[in-house]
Amino acid sequence: MGQFLSRFNIHLHTRMHQYENNLIPIHYKCRNCGMPCDKSKSETTCVNAKYTRTGTKEQPLVNRTVVPDNKVRWSTSYDYHPVEFTSEKVKNSTKEYVDRDPRFDLSVTIPWNQDDRLCDRRSYHGIYKIVGRVPQNPCGRTGITGRGHLGHFGPNHAADPIVTRWKRDANNEIVIHPTTRKPVLQFVCILRKDTREYAIPGGMVEKKEKVTDTLQREFHEETLNFPDMNERDKQKLLATIKDVFENGGIRIYCGYVDDPRNTDNSWMETTAYNFHDGSNEHLALINVHGGSDALSAFWHDLGSETPLYASHAEFLKNVADIHLAHW
């Protein structure tokens, strides 16, 4: 996974138009490579083998079929027998925004690769291929067919707000990392309820929502739970956040996310923006609290030592590079 984005070579604002392009990375976290993940413990099996969010009372645990590194790309021949899995919740959903399965209902036609009435089905990686009436994951085999826990076949779009400030000491001086001699950034981090991993407080783009609105809504839902704030102060703070989110921000990344929910037919793509308050004027002063899908929310030091959900470490590394900060 560490090599993921460095191999990615995707430039912002571009869309690539090949079905299988070697510049598109192979995924790691949404796949069972069959190898021990922690090389120091020979007995450990790949943590990605176990399909996230399964193993609950309602949903038996699903293990992904093994796909070795050299068999990930669709162009390599492989005696492949993926597990079919779509969660009961997704299968039985009657929501208009959740796809019906065109493999089992031939009357279902979905405008693949288009921005349709309900959602944008275009991928940042260009035109994806349709095989057996459903999209094929552009990053290769995952060991699972179907949608897993995702509502859409093809790309499921998300947005990730990366809110940062400088770490400061008691005298308000920016803290310099003792090893790299670079200033240390902090970002608003959450602990996810589902996988219990640290993550950026991102979320799914909802029906016909603009990415800029998703960024604000998710940041609000997952980190701005103010139990003790009066209504006036709350409204003032929300107005400031709205202003910063609408007028500031650097686009850090858009494209495929190595999300543990991805399958051969459904995958996550995101747009990540950085909102940096370098002078402790607005965002840096927020006391964050967990809400919605977050068990907790807090300011956390940016650095390669923190393991993070999906591809979030790669996004944060880009942020550190842009601000010439410690990583």
Q: Which residues bind ligand RP5 (CB under 6 A)?
A: 158, 160, 199-200, 202-204, 257, 259, 268, 270, 293, 310
Between residues 158 and 286, which has the closer beta carbon with respect to ligand RP5? 158
The CB-based long-range contact list for 3-11 (8 Å cut-off, 24+ gap) reads 4/28, 4/258, 4/311, 4/314, 5/253, 5/311, 5/314, 5/317, 5/318, 6/314, 8/255, 10/124, 10/125, 10/254, 10/255
Shortest distance in whole angstroms from residue 157 CB to ligand RP5: 9
Between residues 45 and 296, which has the closer beta carbon with respect to ligand RP5? 296
Q: Are 291 and 225 in contact (CB under 8 A)?
A: yes
Shortest distance in whole angstroms from residue 274 CB to ligand RP5: 14
Q: Which residues contact 88 (CB under 8 A, 6 or more apart)?
A: 58, 59
Between residues 268 and 320, which has the closer beta carbon with respect to ligand RP5? 268
Shortest distance in whole angstroms from residue 255 CB to ligand RP5: 11
> Nearest residue by C-beta to ligand RP5?
202
Shortest distance in whole angstroms from residue 183 CB to ligand RP5: 26
Between residues 162 and 183, which has the closer beta carbon with respect to ligand RP5? 162
Between residues 259 and 264, which has the closer beta carbon with respect to ligand RP5? 259
Q: Are 7 and 25 in contact (CB under 8 A)?
A: yes
Shortest distance in whole angstroms from residue 194 CB to ligand RP5: 7
Between residues 215 and 320, which has the closer beta carbon with respect to ligand RP5? 215
Shortest distance in whole angstroms from residue 278 CB to ligand RP5: 24
